[in-house]
Amino acid sequence: MPYSDFDLKRVKQELGVTLTERQNVFSAIESIEISSTLAEILAENIPLARAINTEKARSELIIANILVEVRKILKHEVIP
C-alpha cells in the first residue's frame, strides 16, 4: 500500500496506535536567535520549497539547513 494512502485515523484503527498529546511541550525551552546565514538561506529557500510543494523539497531546502544550524549551535556535539 502506498504511503500516501495512510493517514493518522487509519493507522490508529489498523495498528491500534494510541496517541498521547500534550500542550506546550517546548514552553520551558529558551528561545535563541538563528544566524544571519540561516536566515538568508531560509528567506531564499522557503518560497522555493513551498512552490515545489513536496516533502523532499521541504526536507532538502528547509529542514536540512535547520539541522546544520542546530549542529553548529551545539558545537558539533549532536549524537546520532
User: Is 20 part of any domain?
Assistant: no
| HSE-up (13 A, CA, CB side) for residue 56 | 1
pLDDT band at 2 (very low <50, low <70, confident <90, very high): confident
State pLDDT tens for residues 46-77.
999 999 999 999 999 999 999 999 999 999 98
pTM of the model: 0.67
Per-residue pLDDT band at 1 (split at 50, 70, 90) = low
Cell numbers of 15, please? Answer: 495498528
What digits encode the pLDDT tens for the residues 10-21? 888 888 988 888
In a domain, 4, yes or no: no
Range of the domain at 64: 35-80
CA distance 69 to 42: 11
Asked, for residue 1, whether it belongs to a domain, the answer is: no
CB 17 within 8 A of CB 11: yes
Q: Please give the tally of structural domains in the chain.
A: 1
Taking the C-alpha atoms of residue 28 and residue 5, their distance in angstroms, rounded to an integer, is 36
Taking each helix axis as running N to C, give the angle between helix 36-52 and helix 64-73, from 0 to 180 degrees, rounded to the nearest 10: 160
Does 53 map to a domain? yes
